[in-house]
Amino acid sequence: MIRLEVGNCIIEIVQGDITEQEVDAIVNAANEKLIPGGGVDGAIHRKGGPAILEELRAKYTHCFTGEAVVTGAGNLKAKYVIHAVGPIYRDGKSGEADLLSKAYKSALTKAFEMNLKSIAFPALSTGAYGYPIKEAAEIALKSILEFLKENQKPELVRMVLFLEEHYKIFAEVLENLKTNL
């Protein structure tokens, strides 16, 4: 685990399963139609049970790329799921970086508005959406740092990477950001 203190907040990078995180909210890598898919999204819906999808259907019909919506967490250890929609990677020149940053900040804003103390993120847009992992790590961590410097909440932001390779890349990016603070 790698940690960085930002004022009263902590950013952690861990390798593990996001569905097992004991935090106030976990972030789901959702799609615009809010239909369960594969990867993180599928794992959250499978482990969380049907209550998550039922609440999504009752409250929302759509979520734009870069935005986020909130539901309860069903059978998960977390209290809430924040469904954030990251961009599909095309060429890196089609506004993807801004949309990815906005997705992280939208999820953090929801957590802030709900006065949540802890949140866990996957690496948004890096699975089926094809975002290169190193670029995604830089955008994710810079976005989180910017948000925490302005808001000082949530107190804990954890990046949960399933693959060891992704963990190492996020850890390296965070170490590089530490030296530039």
pTM more than 0.85: yes
Which positions are catalytic? 41
Which residue segments constitute the domains of the chain, with CATH numbers given? 2-179 (3.40.220.10)
Q: What is the pLDDT of residue 181?
A: 64
Rounded CA separation 129/63 (Å)? 16
Q: What is the pLDDT of residue 178?
A: 81
* Ranges of residues in the chain whose predicted pLDDT is under 70: 180-181
Tally the C-alpha atoms within 13 A of residue 125's C-alpha that lie toward its C-beta.
30
Q: What is the pLDDT of residue 38?
A: 87
* Among 70, 73, 78, 121, residue whose Cα is nearest residue 100: 121
Contact between 110 and 63 under an 8 Å Cβ cutoff? The reply is no
CA distances from 164 to 43, 144, 161 (A): 18, 21, 7
CA distances from 106 to 65, 102, 131, 144 (A): 10, 6, 18, 11
* Among 108, 112, 148, residue whose Cα is nearest residue 124: 108
